[in-house]
Structure 1
Amino acid sequence: MRIIILILILTCVSQSHAKQSNSSVDLTRQIEVTGVGAVFSVPDRFSFSLSLEEKGRSAADLNAVMTKKSTNVINALLKVGVNKKSLQALQVRFNPWVEYSNQKREQKGFILTRTINVTVDNLQIYEKAIDEVLKLGITSISNFNYSSSQSEVEYQMSLRQALLNAKARAQDMVKTLDLKLGKVISISEQSAGQVMPVQMRMQEAKSSSSYQPGEMTTETQVRVVFSLE
């Protein structure tokens, strides 16, 4: 009876060891590669932010002046063809108006600041919009950005390129080592279509001749694991 039990134990240990060995072999018979894809495009969407600022003692008076000034800016943008839905003028900020004289701090009133975000999808309108707001004496223009209205399509294209690149890399590697590529085990996306927009500085916005959107890049990276036959 003891001999039979011993034989059964040895058999189980042997099978367990064999399974572990096979699992180890299976894990080593795979190849992991990283694929990259990039799509270049000319941006067709342009955005920037306008800042309006007024100083005064009365909050009510400041608000009235700011409302009039904001209306003039918005009307000027609408006149050159900017879509009303592409304007966001909700950001308003009140701060104390403080000045120092003879090392003394004096609060003279308030500073009211309003930000207007503008987005257009036409370069000619973009140029006209910048020219018009500069004429109105805007306090500052910032956050110049170029982007693409086809970003989702470009992302899908770059993702396909990344997958094909991963496959080509794997095929080249196994060919070099006289191996045979098997099926895909897993795929994971390492970057969700990283877009590199073009930015423009304030100094470059002073004349229409300086508006050169150039190219933007949509980059994607994937990790693919293949089995080896």
Structure 2
Amino acid sequence: MEGDMQKRELHIMPPDMVVKAATIALGMLALFLFIAALSELRAFRYIGTGVPATNTITVTGMGEVFAVPDLATFSVSVREEALEVADAQETAADKMNTIIAYLQQQGVEEKDIKTVSYNVYPRYEWQQAPCPADSRICPPGKSVMTGFEVHQTISVKVRDTERAGDLLSGVGSRGASDVSGLTFTTDDDDALRAEARALAIEDARGKAAELANSLNVRLVRIVGFHESDYGYPPMPYAYGMGGDMMVRSEAAMKAPELPVGENKIVSNVSVTYEIR
């Protein structure tokens, strides 16, 4: 009798072990689902990725948009030399502050004036010792520090392009050492690129419809898309200060004529269609 009772004895797992086992099982299930979902997302990151091989045609389209630039950008630099760093910095700061004050008085907003570089360099000069008259061997020369150079450059945006020439002349007469990098661009390039893209897609759609009609097939859906866009960069203008930076001729101070012209934004697309 006792033997039968022993055979029928049940072994019940403690509750804490049940909880641990269930937690491990749920964790493994969650990990499996996460990996599966991640794989699906990677498979469909781009249009056309993971699409099974079918009958397809690929067409290209191009869209062009022309726009008159509404933004002029140029750089202004001040370069000063002195025996002491502090003296060079003070002189350069005075000139740059005068230039910035002039630009703001002419309506250039503070947000459109940005410092792009500020550098302090030691200046060296190679000095050769005089050769003795009674010897063919000259003593070696040496590099001697002769002072310091401070170089500061700001970038200026002018939203009234017709005034760009006057501002170039104005900063030149107020101590600028260099004025360079003048370009004419459009302030809202994104809208122009979107317009060019829409024209390119429409061009590709028309070509696809014409080709499908010629092949006597039907366009089903888009299974691939690629875009490349570019715009012809604006032509930079160089504006010389003329002569010594402290003495400038009347011709150098005259406001130059600066034709703005047009900028072109181009978008090229490639579209792949499934056909039946």
Is the shorter-chain TM-score for this pair beyond 0.5, marking a shared fold?
Answer: yes
Q: How does 1:32-47 map to 2 (within 5 A)?
A: 32-47=58-73
Q: For residues 89-134 of structure 1, what are the alpha-carbon distances to aligned partners after superposition, in whole Å with 9 as ceiling and x for unaligned?
A: 3521011212234364221011110001100111133222111012
> Is contact 1:39–1:217 with CA below 8 Å preserved after alignment?
yes
- Pairing partner for 2:236 from 197, 200, 203: 200
Q: Distance in 1 between matches of 2:216 and 2:127?
A: 83
The runs of 5 or more residues in structure 2 that have no matched partner are 1-51, 129-140, 242-251
**What does residue 214 of structure 1 align with?**
261
User: How far does the alpha carbon of each residue in 1:146-172 deviate from its partner, in whole angstroms, 9 at most, with x for none?
Assistant: 111221211110110111111122222
Distance 2:264 2:95 in 1: 38
Identify the residue that residue 115 of structure 1 maps to in structure 2: 153
| Aligned partners of 1:48 and 1:141 also within 8 Å | yes
In the superposition, relative to structure 1, how do residues 66 and 208 fare at CA in structure 2: closer, same or farther (>3 Å)?
A: closer
* Counterparts of 1:201 and 1:124, CA distance in 2: 15
Task: Assess, with a 3 A threshold, how the Cα gap between structure 1 residues 48 and 227 changes in structure 2: closer, same or farther.
Answer: same
Helix, strand or coil at the partner of 2:121: strand
- Tell me the number of residue pairs that the alignment of Structure 1 and Structure 2 aligns: 202
Say which SS state the counterpart of residue 212 (structure 2) adopts.
helix
**Whole-Å separation in 1 of the counterparts to 2:76 and 2:54:** 58
Given that residues 60 and 268 in structure 2 are in contact (C-alpha distance below 8 angstroms), is that contact kept between their aligned partners in structure 1? yes
How far apart, in 1, do the equivalents of 2:113 and 2:256 lie?
A: 24
Please tell me whether the aligned partners of residues 146 and 197 of structure 1 are also in contact (alpha carbons under 8 angstroms). Answer: no
Unmatched tracts of structure 1, length 5 or more: 1-25
Q: TM-score, normalised by structure 2?
A: 0.67
SS in 2 for 1:213: coil
Contact between 2:166 and 2:256, CA under 8 Å: does it hold in 1?
no
- Which segment is superposed worse, 169-178 or 121-130? 169-178
**Conservation of the 8 A alpha-carbon contact between 1:35 and 1:223:** yes
Residue in 1 that maps onto 2:81: 55
Over alpha carbons, which structure has the higher Rg?
2
RMSD: 2.2
**Contact 1:204 1:210 (C-alpha < 8 Å) held by counterparts:** no
Structure 1 residue 183: Cα displacement: 2.1
- 1:226 and 1:89 map into 2 onto residues whose CA distance is 50
Moved more, 121-130 or 151-160: 121-130
Cα drift, residue 71 of structure 1? 0.6
Counterparts in 2 of 1:27 and 1:90: CA distance versus 1, 3 Å: closer
**Aligned twin of 2:187:** 149
More strand by share: 1
Deviation for aligned residue 1:201 = 2.5
Relative to total residues, which structure has the larger helix share, 1 or 2? 1
Deviations 1:45-70 (A, max 9, x none): 11011111001111111111111111
Contact 1:187–1:224, Cα closer than 8 Å, also in 2 = yes
Q: Which amino acid letter does the alignment assign opposite residue 180 of structure 1?
A: R
* Letter aligned with residue 86 of structure 1: D
2:225, 2:270 within 8 Å by CA — same for their partners in 1?
Answer: yes
Q: Amino acid of the residue matched to residue 218 of structure 1? A: I
Change (3 A) 1:72 1:201: same
The 5 A counterparts of 1:34-183 are: 34-89=60-115, 91-102=117-128, 104-183=142-221
After alignment, is 177-186 or 85-94 more displaced? 177-186
